[in-house]
Protein backbone atom coordinates (compact mmCIF):
# COMPACT_ATOMS: atom_id res chain seq x y z
CA UNK A 1 0.00 0.00 0.00
CA UNK A 2 1.53 3.34 -0.98
CA UNK A 3 0.82 6.94 -0.03
CA UNK A 4 2.64 8.98 -2.69
CA UNK A 5 4.32 8.58 -6.06
CA UNK A 6 7.44 6.47 -5.51
CA UNK A 7 10.22 6.44 -8.14
CA UNK A 8 11.90 3.21 -9.30
CA UNK A 9 15.43 4.46 -8.61
CA UNK A 10 16.98 6.38 -5.72
CA UNK A 11 20.26 7.99 -4.71
CA UNK A 12 22.16 6.07 -2.03
CA UNK A 13 25.50 6.38 -0.25
CA UNK A 14 27.35 3.09 -0.62
CA UNK A 15 30.38 1.77 1.28
CA UNK A 16 32.49 -0.45 -1.01
CA UNK A 17 34.70 -1.98 1.69
CA UNK A 18 35.17 -1.57 5.44
CA UNK A 19 38.08 0.80 4.97
CA UNK A 20 36.73 4.18 6.12
CA UNK A 21 35.24 7.22 4.35
CA UNK A 22 37.44 6.82 1.25
CA UNK A 23 35.33 3.78 0.39
CA UNK A 24 32.12 5.85 0.21
CA UNK A 25 30.49 6.70 -3.10
CA UNK A 26 27.06 7.64 -4.41
CA UNK A 27 25.11 5.06 -6.40
CA UNK A 28 21.67 4.86 -8.00
CA UNK A 29 19.82 1.79 -6.76
CA UNK A 30 16.27 0.45 -7.08
CA UNK A 31 13.91 1.72 -4.38
CA UNK A 32 13.36 -1.26 -2.02
CA UNK A 33 9.89 -2.68 -1.38
CA UNK A 34 8.60 -3.17 2.17
CA UNK A 35 7.85 -6.78 3.12
CA UNK A 36 5.69 -8.14 5.93
CA UNK A 37 5.79 -5.92 9.03
CA UNK A 38 7.91 -3.37 7.18
CA UNK A 39 7.44 0.20 5.99
CA UNK A 40 9.13 2.30 3.31
CA UNK A 41 10.43 5.62 4.68
CA UNK A 42 11.24 8.60 2.44
CA UNK A 43 14.35 9.78 4.27
CA UNK A 44 14.64 13.42 5.40
CA UNK A 45 17.91 13.42 7.38
CA UNK A 46 20.44 11.17 9.08
CA UNK A 47 23.24 12.18 11.47
CA UNK A 48 26.82 10.95 11.36
CA UNK A 49 27.38 9.25 14.71
CA UNK A 50 30.53 7.69 16.20
CA UNK A 51 28.89 4.29 15.58
CA UNK A 52 28.73 5.15 11.86
CA UNK A 53 32.47 5.90 11.86
CA UNK A 54 33.11 2.56 13.57
CA UNK A 55 30.86 0.86 10.98
CA UNK A 56 32.74 2.47 8.05
CA UNK A 57 35.98 1.04 9.44
CA UNK A 58 34.49 -2.44 10.04
CA UNK A 59 34.64 -2.02 13.82
CA UNK A 60 30.95 -2.12 14.73
CA UNK A 61 28.58 -4.86 15.88
CA UNK A 62 27.14 -5.22 12.32
CA UNK A 63 29.18 -6.53 9.43
CA UNK A 64 27.00 -7.44 6.45
CA UNK A 65 29.09 -7.98 3.34
CA UNK A 66 29.87 -4.80 1.36
CA UNK A 67 28.80 -2.96 -0.73
CA UNK A 68 26.39 -1.71 1.93
CA UNK A 69 24.43 1.47 2.63
CA UNK A 70 25.62 2.87 6.00
CA UNK A 71 23.60 5.02 8.41
CA UNK A 72 22.39 3.93 11.84
CA UNK A 73 19.46 6.29 12.42
CA UNK A 74 17.43 8.95 10.67
CA UNK A 75 14.01 10.38 10.04
CA UNK A 76 11.45 10.69 7.28
CA UNK A 77 7.90 9.99 6.23
CA UNK A 78 6.33 6.57 5.73
CA UNK A 79 5.21 6.44 2.08
CA UNK A 80 4.39 2.73 1.65
CA UNK A 81 3.78 -0.27 3.89
CA UNK A 82 3.95 -4.05 3.51
CA UNK A 83 1.43 -6.54 4.88
CA UNK A 84 0.92 -6.50 8.66
CA UNK A 85 -1.33 -4.65 11.09
CA UNK A 86 1.24 -2.11 12.34
CA UNK A 87 2.17 -0.84 8.86
CA UNK A 88 -1.22 0.81 8.31
CA UNK A 89 -0.80 2.75 11.55
CA UNK A 90 2.47 4.23 10.27
CA UNK A 91 1.35 5.12 6.70
CA UNK A 92 1.79 8.88 6.14
CA UNK A 93 3.40 9.42 9.56
CA UNK A 94 6.64 11.28 10.25
CA UNK A 95 8.98 8.83 11.93
CA UNK A 96 12.43 8.22 13.32
CA UNK A 97 14.02 5.06 11.96
CA UNK A 98 16.76 2.78 13.18
CA UNK A 99 18.87 0.32 11.23
CA UNK A 100 19.13 -3.17 12.72
CA UNK A 101 22.23 -4.00 10.70
CA UNK A 102 20.53 -6.79 8.81
CA UNK A 103 19.48 -4.58 5.90
CA UNK A 104 20.86 -1.45 4.27
CA UNK A 105 21.15 1.64 6.48
CA UNK A 106 19.56 5.09 6.33
CA UNK A 107 21.94 7.02 4.02
CA UNK A 108 19.56 6.65 1.08
CA UNK A 109 16.54 8.48 -0.31
CA UNK A 110 14.32 5.59 0.76
CA UNK A 111 14.81 2.92 3.41
CA UNK A 112 12.84 -0.12 4.51
CA UNK A 113 12.38 -0.31 8.29
CA UNK A 114 10.76 -2.90 10.52
CA UNK A 115 7.56 -2.00 12.37
CA UNK A 116 8.98 -4.16 15.18
CA UNK A 117 11.51 -1.77 16.66
CA UNK A 118 12.88 -0.07 13.53
CA UNK A 119 10.45 2.80 13.27
CA UNK A 120 9.05 5.21 15.88
CA UNK A 121 6.38 7.93 15.44
CA UNK A 122 7.62 11.49 15.95
CA UNK A 123 5.74 13.93 18.16
CA UNK A 124 4.17 16.84 16.25
CA UNK A 125 6.52 19.24 18.04
CA UNK A 126 9.67 17.38 16.89
CA UNK A 127 11.15 18.56 13.58
CA UNK A 128 12.39 15.99 11.05
CA UNK A 129 15.97 17.17 11.71
CA UNK A 130 15.73 16.72 15.51
CA UNK A 131 13.75 13.55 14.87
CA UNK A 132 16.70 12.15 12.89
CA UNK A 133 18.76 12.21 16.11
CA UNK A 134 16.02 11.17 18.49
CA UNK A 135 16.67 7.44 18.92
CA UNK A 136 20.27 6.45 19.69
CA UNK A 137 21.54 9.19 22.01
CA UNK A 138 18.27 10.21 23.71
CA UNK A 139 17.34 6.60 24.56
CA UNK A 140 20.91 5.86 25.67
CA UNK A 141 20.93 8.92 27.95
CA UNK A 142 17.59 7.79 29.41
CA UNK A 143 18.99 4.27 29.84
CA UNK A 144 22.07 5.58 31.69
CA UNK A 145 19.85 7.51 34.11
CA UNK A 146 17.66 4.46 34.62
CA UNK A 147 20.68 2.20 35.31
CA UNK A 148 22.06 4.83 37.70
CA UNK A 149 18.84 5.19 39.66
CA UNK A 150 18.11 1.45 39.74
CA UNK A 151 21.59 0.86 41.19
CA UNK A 152 20.91 3.45 43.89
CA UNK A 153 23.78 5.67 42.68
CA UNK A 154 23.81 9.37 43.49
CA UNK A 155 26.91 10.13 41.40
CA UNK A 156 28.42 8.80 38.17
CA UNK A 157 31.55 9.35 36.11
CA UNK A 158 31.15 9.97 32.39
CA UNK A 159 33.94 10.04 29.80
CA UNK A 160 33.83 11.82 26.40
CA UNK A 161 31.39 13.96 28.35
CA UNK A 162 31.25 16.90 25.92
CA UNK A 163 29.60 14.65 23.32
CA UNK A 164 25.96 15.17 22.33
CA UNK A 165 25.12 12.17 24.54
CA UNK A 166 27.26 13.51 27.40
CA UNK A 167 25.43 16.84 27.33
CA UNK A 168 22.09 14.99 27.49
CA UNK A 169 23.24 12.88 30.45
CA UNK A 170 24.35 16.06 32.23
CA UNK A 171 21.00 17.78 31.69
CA UNK A 172 19.02 14.70 32.79
CA UNK A 173 21.38 14.23 35.74
CA UNK A 174 20.79 17.80 36.89
CA UNK A 175 16.99 17.37 36.63
CA UNK A 176 17.15 14.13 38.61
CA UNK A 177 19.68 15.13 41.28
CA UNK A 178 22.50 12.87 40.02
CA UNK A 179 26.02 14.34 40.30
CA UNK A 180 27.96 13.81 37.06
CA UNK A 181 31.77 13.75 37.24
CA UNK A 182 32.64 14.68 33.66
CA UNK A 183 35.86 13.64 31.95
CA UNK A 184 36.85 15.41 28.71
CA UNK A 185 40.13 15.73 26.82
CA UNK A 186 40.42 19.46 25.96
CA UNK A 187 40.03 22.77 27.84
CA UNK A 188 37.40 24.01 25.33
CA UNK A 189 35.28 21.03 26.39
CA UNK A 190 35.71 21.93 30.08
CA UNK A 191 34.44 25.45 29.28
CA UNK A 192 31.57 24.13 27.15
CA UNK A 193 30.21 21.88 29.90
CA UNK A 194 30.77 24.44 32.67
CA UNK A 195 28.89 27.08 30.64
CA UNK A 196 25.97 24.63 30.54
CA UNK A 197 25.97 24.25 34.31
CA UNK A 198 28.21 21.22 34.94
CA UNK A 199 29.97 21.52 38.30
CA UNK A 200 32.69 18.85 37.98
CA UNK A 201 34.59 18.67 34.69
CA UNK A 202 38.07 17.10 34.58
CA UNK A 203 40.49 17.25 31.68
CA UNK A 204 42.23 13.89 31.15
CA UNK A 205 45.20 15.81 29.70
CA UNK A 206 45.98 17.50 33.06
CA UNK A 207 49.17 16.18 34.71
CA UNK A 208 47.38 15.39 37.96
CA UNK A 209 44.21 14.03 36.31
CA UNK A 210 44.42 10.68 38.13
CA UNK A 211 44.50 12.40 41.52
CA UNK A 212 41.65 14.77 40.57
CA UNK A 213 39.56 11.82 39.39
CA UNK A 214 40.28 9.80 42.54
CA UNK A 215 39.37 12.77 44.76
CA UNK A 216 36.13 13.51 42.90
CA UNK A 217 35.03 9.86 42.93
CA UNK A 218 35.60 9.65 46.71
CA UNK A 219 34.12 13.08 47.47
CA UNK A 220 30.86 12.25 45.66
CA UNK A 221 30.97 8.52 46.54
CA UNK A 222 30.70 7.56 42.85
CA UNK A 223 30.70 3.78 42.25
CA UNK A 224 29.63 3.77 38.60
CA UNK A 225 31.35 5.08 35.47
CA UNK A 226 30.12 5.09 31.86
CA UNK A 227 33.19 4.95 29.62
CA UNK A 228 33.13 5.73 25.89
CA UNK A 229 36.92 5.93 25.54
CA UNK A 230 38.22 2.48 26.68
CA UNK A 231 41.98 1.73 26.37
CA UNK A 232 43.97 2.98 29.38
CA UNK A 233 41.05 5.23 30.43
CA UNK A 234 39.05 2.20 31.63
CA UNK A 235 41.91 1.28 33.99
CA UNK A 236 42.28 4.89 35.19
CA UNK A 237 38.58 4.93 36.04
CA UNK A 238 38.70 1.60 37.84
CA UNK A 239 41.70 2.72 39.88
CA UNK A 240 40.09 6.03 40.85
CA UNK A 241 36.74 4.55 41.91
CA UNK A 242 36.20 3.13 45.42
CA UNK A 243 36.10 -0.65 46.00
CA UNK A 244 33.16 -2.59 44.50
CA UNK A 245 32.62 -0.11 41.69
CA UNK A 246 31.68 -0.76 38.06
CA UNK A 247 32.91 0.70 34.81
CA UNK A 248 30.40 0.26 32.00
CA UNK A 249 32.19 0.51 28.66
CA UNK A 250 29.81 1.73 25.95
CA UNK A 251 32.18 2.67 23.13
CA UNK A 252 35.82 2.51 22.10
CA UNK A 253 36.75 6.01 20.95
CA UNK A 254 40.46 5.36 21.71
CA UNK A 255 40.35 2.34 19.34
CA UNK A 256 42.04 0.36 22.12
CA UNK A 257 40.69 -2.50 24.22
CA UNK A 258 39.96 -1.68 27.89
CA UNK A 259 43.17 -2.00 29.91
CA UNK A 260 43.34 -2.54 33.63
CA UNK A 261 45.49 -3.84 36.41
CA UNK A 262 44.23 -7.25 37.58
CA UNK A 263 44.41 -6.08 41.25
CA UNK A 264 41.46 -3.79 40.65
CA UNK A 265 39.27 -6.68 39.55
CA UNK A 266 40.48 -9.48 41.81
CA UNK A 267 41.32 -7.75 45.09
CA UNK A 268 39.09 -4.67 44.97
CA UNK A 269 35.89 -6.26 43.68
CA UNK A 270 35.61 -3.87 40.74
CA UNK A 271 33.91 -4.92 37.52
CA UNK A 272 33.86 -3.97 33.86
CA UNK A 273 30.60 -4.42 31.98
CA UNK A 274 29.37 -3.37 28.55
CA UNK A 275 26.35 -1.47 27.26
CA UNK A 276 24.74 -1.53 23.80
CA UNK A 277 21.40 0.22 23.44
CA UNK A 278 19.51 -2.37 21.36
CA UNK A 279 20.22 -5.44 23.51
CA UNK A 280 19.72 -3.37 26.69
CA UNK A 281 16.29 -2.21 25.50
CA UNK A 282 15.09 -5.60 24.35
CA UNK A 283 16.37 -7.54 27.35
CA UNK A 284 15.05 -5.06 29.93
CA UNK A 285 11.76 -3.89 28.44
CA UNK A 286 8.69 -5.19 26.65
CA UNK A 287 7.27 -3.35 23.62
CA UNK A 288 4.88 -1.28 25.74
CA UNK A 289 7.68 -0.16 28.06
CA UNK A 290 9.85 0.76 25.06
CA UNK A 291 6.98 2.87 23.67
CA UNK A 292 6.56 4.59 27.04
CA UNK A 293 10.30 5.34 27.16
CA UNK A 294 10.04 6.67 23.58
CA UNK A 295 7.07 8.93 24.43
CA UNK A 296 8.88 10.35 27.47
CA UNK A 297 12.02 11.00 25.48
CA UNK A 298 10.09 12.65 22.59
CA UNK A 299 8.73 15.19 25.09
CA UNK A 300 12.31 16.15 26.01
CA UNK A 301 13.77 16.35 22.48
CA UNK A 302 13.50 20.15 22.45
CA UNK A 303 15.16 20.51 25.87
CA UNK A 304 17.16 17.94 27.89
CA UNK A 305 17.53 15.53 24.97
CA UNK A 306 18.24 18.09 22.26
CA UNK A 307 21.18 17.71 19.84
CA UNK A 308 22.89 20.71 18.27
CA UNK A 309 23.32 20.68 14.48
CA UNK A 310 26.62 21.99 13.12
CA UNK A 311 26.22 21.43 9.37
CA UNK A 312 24.13 19.75 6.70
CA UNK A 313 25.51 17.98 3.60
CA UNK A 314 23.82 16.30 0.63
CA UNK A 315 24.49 12.56 0.14
CA UNK A 316 26.84 13.48 -2.74
CA UNK A 317 29.20 15.09 -0.20
CA UNK A 318 29.09 12.28 2.37
CA UNK A 319 32.85 11.64 2.20
CA UNK A 320 33.61 15.30 2.95
CA UNK A 321 30.99 15.34 5.71
CA UNK A 322 32.44 12.26 7.40
CA UNK A 323 35.93 13.71 7.21
CA UNK A 324 34.79 17.02 8.73
CA UNK A 325 33.05 15.15 11.55
CA UNK A 326 36.07 12.90 12.16
CA UNK A 327 38.36 15.95 12.49
CA UNK A 328 36.24 17.32 15.33
CA UNK A 329 33.24 15.64 16.85
CA UNK A 330 32.32 18.11 19.61
CA UNK A 331 30.11 21.05 18.73
CA UNK A 332 27.06 19.60 17.04
CA UNK A 333 26.00 16.85 14.69
CA UNK A 334 26.52 16.82 10.93
CA UNK A 335 23.38 15.78 9.09
CA UNK A 336 23.33 13.99 5.75
CA UNK A 337 20.27 14.75 3.63
CA UNK A 338 19.05 13.65 0.21
CA UNK A 339 19.24 17.35 -0.73
CA UNK A 340 20.21 20.32 1.49
N1 LIG B 1 26.74 1.66 23.27
C2 LIG B 1 25.70 2.34 22.82
O3 LIG B 1 24.59 1.80 22.68
C4 LIG B 1 25.86 3.79 22.47
C5 LIG B 1 24.72 4.56 22.20
C6 LIG B 1 24.89 5.92 21.94
C7 LIG B 1 26.17 6.48 21.90
N8 LIG B 1 27.24 5.69 22.15
C9 LIG B 1 28.60 6.24 22.16
O10 LIG B 1 28.58 7.45 22.91
C11 LIG B 1 29.66 8.26 22.50
C12 LIG B 1 29.14 9.67 22.26
O13 LIG B 1 28.30 9.66 21.11
P14 LIG B 1 27.80 11.06 20.51
O15 LIG B 1 26.99 10.80 19.31
O16 LIG B 1 27.21 11.85 21.60
O17 LIG B 1 29.21 11.70 20.09
P18 LIG B 1 29.57 13.14 19.50
O19 LIG B 1 28.57 14.16 19.89
O20 LIG B 1 29.88 12.98 18.08
O21 LIG B 1 30.92 13.45 20.28
C22 LIG B 1 31.98 12.53 20.40
C23 LIG B 1 32.86 13.04 21.54
O24 LIG B 1 33.89 12.08 21.79
C25 LIG B 1 35.14 12.79 21.92
N26 LIG B 1 36.21 11.88 21.56
C27 LIG B 1 36.48 11.34 20.36
N28 LIG B 1 37.55 10.53 20.43
C29 LIG B 1 37.97 10.57 21.72
C30 LIG B 1 39.05 9.96 22.43
N31 LIG B 1 39.89 9.12 21.82
N32 LIG B 1 39.19 10.24 23.75
C33 LIG B 1 38.34 11.08 24.37
N34 LIG B 1 37.29 11.70 23.76
C35 LIG B 1 37.12 11.44 22.45
C36 LIG B 1 34.99 13.94 20.96
O37 LIG B 1 35.91 14.96 21.28
P38 LIG B 1 36.73 15.75 20.13
O39 LIG B 1 35.86 16.86 19.64
O40 LIG B 1 37.92 16.22 20.89
O41 LIG B 1 37.04 14.77 19.04
C42 LIG B 1 33.54 14.37 21.24
O43 LIG B 1 33.44 15.18 22.37
C44 LIG B 1 30.24 7.60 21.26
O45 LIG B 1 31.40 6.92 21.58
C46 LIG B 1 29.15 6.64 20.82
O47 LIG B 1 29.64 5.54 20.10
C48 LIG B 1 27.12 4.36 22.43
Tell me the CA–centroid distance for residue 92 and ligand 1, in Å.
34
Taking a C-beta distance cutoff of 8 angstroms, is the pair 262, 196 a contact?
A: no
The pTM for the full model equals 0.97
Tell me the CA–centroid distance for residue 49 and ligand 1, in Å.
8
Q: Which residue has the higher pLDDT, 208 or 1?
A: 208
Q: Tell me how far apart the alpha carbons of residues 235 and 45 are, in angstroms, rounded to a whole number.
A: 38
- Decide whether any atom of ligand 1 lies within 6 Å of the 2 Cβ: no
Report pLDDT for 2.
60
Q: Tell me how far apart the alpha carbons of residues 267 and 228 are, in angstroms, rounded to a whole number.
A: 25
At 124, give phi and psi (nearest 5°).
-55, -35
Q: Tell me how far apart the alpha carbons of residues 172 and 142 are, in angstroms, rounded to a whole number.
A: 8
- Decide whether any atom of ligand 1 lies within 6 Å of the 182 Cβ: no
- Decide whether any atom of ligand 1 lies within 6 Å of the 161 Cβ: no
Tens of pLDDT, residues 225-269: 999 999 999 999 999 999 999 999 999 999 999 999 999 999 999
Give the ligand 1 atom nearest the CA of 250.
1
- Decide whether any atom of ligand 1 lies within 6 Å of the 281 Cβ: no
For CATH 3.90.180.10, the residue range(s) in the chain are: 9-133+307-337
Give the ligand 1 atom nearest the CA of 255.
31
Looking at the domain that runs over 9-133+307-337, which CATH code has it been given? 3.90.180.10
Pairing of strands 110-114, 119-121: unpaired
| CATH architecture of structural domain 143-278 | 3-Layer(aba) Sandwich (3.40)
Q: Which of 23, 50, 78, 49 is nearest to 254 (CA)?
A: 50
Tens of pLDDT, residues 113-122: 999 889 999 9
Mean of the per-residue pLDDT values of the chain: 96
Report residue 258 CA to chain centroid gap. 20
Interacting residues of 184 by C-beta distance below 8 A, sequence separation 6+: 160, 161, 162, 190, 193, 201, 202, 203, 204
* Helix or strand holding residue 287 (H, E): helix 287-299
Tell me the CA–centroid distance for residue 184 and ligand 1, in Å.
10
What does the pLDDT average to over 122-132?
97
- For residue 193, name the pLDDT band (cuts at 50, 70, 90): very high
Tell me the CA–centroid distance for residue 166 and ligand 1, in Å.
8
Given ligand 1 and candidates 47, 163, 335, which is best to mutate, with the most ligand atoms within 8 Å of its CB?
Answer: 163
For CATH 3.40.50.720, the residue range(s) in the chain are: 143-278
**Closest CA to ligand 1's atom 9:** 251
Q: Tell me how far apart the alpha carbons of residues 201 and 81 are, in angstroms, rounded to a whole number.
A: 47
**Closest CA to ligand 1's atom 20:** 329
The burial class, CB within 10 Å (0-12 / 13-18 / 19+), for 20 is middle
Taking a C-beta distance cutoff of 8 angstroms, is the pair 106, 137 a contact?
A: no
- Decide whether any atom of ligand 1 lies within 6 Å of the 122 Cβ: no
Q: With the C-alpha atoms ordered 180, 186, 190, 193, is the resulting torsion angle positive or negative?
A: negative
Q: Tell me how far apart the alpha carbons of residues 48 and 298 are, in angstroms, rounded to a whole number.
A: 20
What does the pLDDT average to over 295-308?
97
User: Percent helix, strand and coil across the chain, each rounded to 5?
Assistant: 35, 25, 40
Amino acid sequence: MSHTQIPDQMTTVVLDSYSGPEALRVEQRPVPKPGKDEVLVKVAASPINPSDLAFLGGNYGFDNPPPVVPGGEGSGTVVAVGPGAMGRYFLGKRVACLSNGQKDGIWAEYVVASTKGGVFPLNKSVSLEQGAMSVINPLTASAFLEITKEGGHKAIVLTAAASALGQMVNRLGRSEGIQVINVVRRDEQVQLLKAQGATVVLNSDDVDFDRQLHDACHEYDAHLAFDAVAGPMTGQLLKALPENSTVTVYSCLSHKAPQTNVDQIVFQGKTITGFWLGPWLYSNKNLLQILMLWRRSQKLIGTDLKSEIRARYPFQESRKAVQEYTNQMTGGKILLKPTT
